[in-house]
């Protein structure tokens, strides 16, 4: 039995505040993606390096990022490191948490992309006098990024949605945090969260469609 009178006006009155929150959410997602991609490239180089400690480091990172809940990773970035006396603000904590997660998943995406590139290309590069790193930089990496471009937009969507976990570490300026604050104030739970869901949907849909458009323009063979 669900009887409840919806008061949409009360929610729409708060739309400007929620849109401000959506901006913060996008800011976190974009930053965490940029940092995540950079770190994932580094981890991929570690994996290809042939050096045991570097490979072990990259593998450990990927294993933890992919096999533990994102909530745990974000929680550790705030309360976990604080037990060693390192304090991050909620914004930095959520950014570190999502970046860590992004880097792990993207490294796996890159691994999949690398499998699609024949080994012989590296060897051809090497035989032309390029070093291992140079052949990665000039031959392999561009193809790898191209192949994994669409999976990357997937991760971007995931990053947007993960920002909602920020409330566990005290975030109240992102879309989810703002919504929760307004909910405490007015108790208009259903209207506010429905509105937040629509905003989340529009953001993520724009990203996937935008990603497809960019891919279509950039990667014409």
Q: How far is the CB of 134 from another protein (least distance, A)?
A: 45
Give the chain's radius of gyration (CA, Å).
21
- Of the candidates 183, 196, 200, 203, which one interacts with another protein according to CB under 8 A? 183
Q: How far is CA 164 from CA 43, 89, 211, in A?
A: 27, 16, 22
CA distance linking residue 175 with residue 156, whole number of Å: 16
The one segment of 35-43, 124-132, 137-145, 186-194 that binds another protein by CB under 8 A: 186-194
- Of the candidates 181, 194, 208, 215, which one interacts with another protein according to CB under 8 A? 181
The one segment of 45-53, 80-88, 113-121, 149-157 that binds another protein by CB under 8 A: 80-88
Applying CB under 8 A, the site for another protein has a residue count of: 30
CA distance linking residue 154 with residue 151, whole number of Å: 5
**197 sits near another protein (criterion: CB under 8 A):** no
- Of the candidates 21, 141, 188, 199, which one interacts with another protein according to CB under 8 A? 188
The one segment of 26-34, 152-160, 163-171, 200-208 that binds another protein by CB under 8 A: 163-171
CA distance linking residue 127 with residue 99, whole number of Å: 37
Q: How far is the CB of 32 from another protein (least distance, A)?
A: 20
Show the tokens assigned to 184: 């405490």
Q: Which residues of 85-122 are buried (b: 16+ CB within 10 A; e: fewer)?
A: eeebebbebbbbbbbbbbbbbbbbbbbebbeebeeeeb
What residues line the site for another protein (CB under 8 A)? 1-4, 7, 10, 78-79, 82-83, 85, 87, 89-90, 167-170, 172, 177, 180-181, 183-190
């Amino acid at each position: 039995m669900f009887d409840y009178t919806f008061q949409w006006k009360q929610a729409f009155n708060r739309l400007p505040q929620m849109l401000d929150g959506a901006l913060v959410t996008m800011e976190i997602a974009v930053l965490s993606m940029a940092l995540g991609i950079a770190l994932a490239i580094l981890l991929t180089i570690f994996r290809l390096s042939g050096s045991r400690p570097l490979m072990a480091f990259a593998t450990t990172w990927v294993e933890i990022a992919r096999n533990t809940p994102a909530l745990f990773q974000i929680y550790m970035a705030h309360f976990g490191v604080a037990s060693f006396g390192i304090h991050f603000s909620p914004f930095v904590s959520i950014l570190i948490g999502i970046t860590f997660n992004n880097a792990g998943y993207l490294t796996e995406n890159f691994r999949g992309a690398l499998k699609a590139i024949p080994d012989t290309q590296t060897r051809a590069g090497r035989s032309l006098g390029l070093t291992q790193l140079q052949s990665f930089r000039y031959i392999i990496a561009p193809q790898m990024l191209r192949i994994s471009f669409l999976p990357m937009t997937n991760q971007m969507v995931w990053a947007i949605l993960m920002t909602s976990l920020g409330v566990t570490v005290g975030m109240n300026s992102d879309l989810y945090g703002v919504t929760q604050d307004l909910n405490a104030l007015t108790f208009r739970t259903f209207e506010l969260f429905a509105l937040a869901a629509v905003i989340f949907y529009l953001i993520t849909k724009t990203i996937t469609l935008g990603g497809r458009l960019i891919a279509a323009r950039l990667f014409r063979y």
